[in-house]
Chains A and B, each alone.
Chain A
């Protein structure tokens, strides 16, 4: 088995006296998409933010490709893990076009020679299927899906090894959700990026992820390949979570219930 891309070991995060995440360990292989599911408040986002470096863990370690990620990260370490946020309306600077945002990142990280910065940005825009015209306007003029593509471009431009995606489609229309999920799948295939996808949407996890971690009260209670965990859950919490997924009633039942009495 290849060395893990991300190795989280004994992670503990506290907010004051509240323990949000307790002794969590897991791995993500290169190019793997791992889903992190659980109810609100189970600690999913906290893990994502700790891996992305937005908060400092109380205990435990986070390694990316064998490199220990500490409280302060080097430029290269920051580049290695990027995050895509839930709400694309709040995750883009209102006064900065996608074009300027990407150019700045390419320049700061010296990802391309000066003369080729624009070409590099165009390549990234192509990867996320965003036109240059749309990239040059302010985020307020973009639709939700276009904004999320811009946010994904911001992550992808740094050529990260891992992308943490926190509920990446929950703020989008259903029609747009599918295109964003296909984009993730293609980025994995084309760029070999690993994903940690935080979601409470089990159908999204079933569609996109290779394996899944189920969280309850800050701890992982079940893990394994998606096909196994979501079809034959072992832990009672996972079973409850699956049962809680709303299903459309069958046509016969619906029509029966709604049938007018003579």
Chain B
């Protein structure tokens, strides 16, 4: 059996994610249409040269909306991962290193948050906080940090008992230095893989929230809202829902390949 060449997954992931990012950034260059411009006389047109992905019920160009929606969803997907990553990493490091009461409290909160299904808490929080990007960030930050905290806490707990940590402390290095310069770099590879995987999860959450009317507010283009708008036409004007659905699928596969590729890379280097 031939094995995949090392790095092929990473290259594929980078290619797919890179393409999606370039399309999103260069949206005004890859489409001449305004994603929010209504064309009431040109509604529900199938894919054609002038509208490669067709038009929706309001005559908006679906290709333009898909690439502009990439700007919103990719931006929110990446940004919504950063706060939980930072909070979870910090709490995981402190709980794992110091142990004791702090560790017990952090573990209790992690277990409590994890006991609830992810979407139940996120939906409840967004319902309370109101729709929009800010609420998505807050709701995801409140829930998603537990994954990072759990991984980092468990890793740090193991490292804290290693002799190289004892030697660093015995060598007169401060706790802050030992945690930040010695333990954290050992957790980083796992964190990067987890964060990249999480971007997929967050994008799916945003799409789901938007589909349920709790996410990105119209008229800002967003893949979830587009799928919701297109579902009434899915048997007759399939292009309205299928293209944004494919965009979600391709982005998800791209980030998954990237995460796998990075994991392979770190395994090889170690």
A-side interface residues toward B, CB under 8 Å? 52-54, 75, 78-79, 81-83, 85, 87, 90-96, 104-105, 108-109, 140, 151, 154, 158
Contacts and interface: CB of A to CB of B under 8 A. Distances in A.
Interface string B187-214: 0000000000000000000000000000
21 contacts: A54-B169, A54-B170, A78-B172, A79-B172, A82-B170, A83-B166, A83-B167, A85-B166, A85-B167, A91-B164, A91-B167, A93-B164, A93-B168, A93-B182, A94-B164, A94-B186, A95-B186, A104-B173, A105-B173, A154-B171, A158-B171
Contacts, number: 56
Interface residues of B, number: 17
A78 B170 contact: yes
Dominant secondary structure at the B interface: helix
B182 A83 contact: no
Given A93-B186, A95-B186, A96-B182, A105 B162 contact: no
Report, nearest first, the 5 A-B pairs whose CB atoms are least far apart.
Answer: A78-B172, A91-B163, A85-B163, A93-B164, A95-B185
Given A78-B172, A95-B185, A154-B167, 14 more contacts: A54-B166, A54-B170, A75-B172, A82-B171, A83-B170, A90-B163, A91-B167, A92-B164, A93-B186, A94-B270, A95-B186, A105-B172, A109-B172, A140-B270
Nearest to B166: A54
Interface of B: 162-164, 166-173, 177, 181-182, 185-186, 270
Contact of A53 (B162, B170, B182): B170
- Most chain A beta-carbon contacts within 10 A, residue among B168, B169, B172, B186: B172
- Most chain A beta-carbon contacts within 10 A, residue among B171, B185, B186, B270: B171
B185 A105 contact: no
Given A78-B172, A82-B171, A108-B177, A90 B182 contact: no
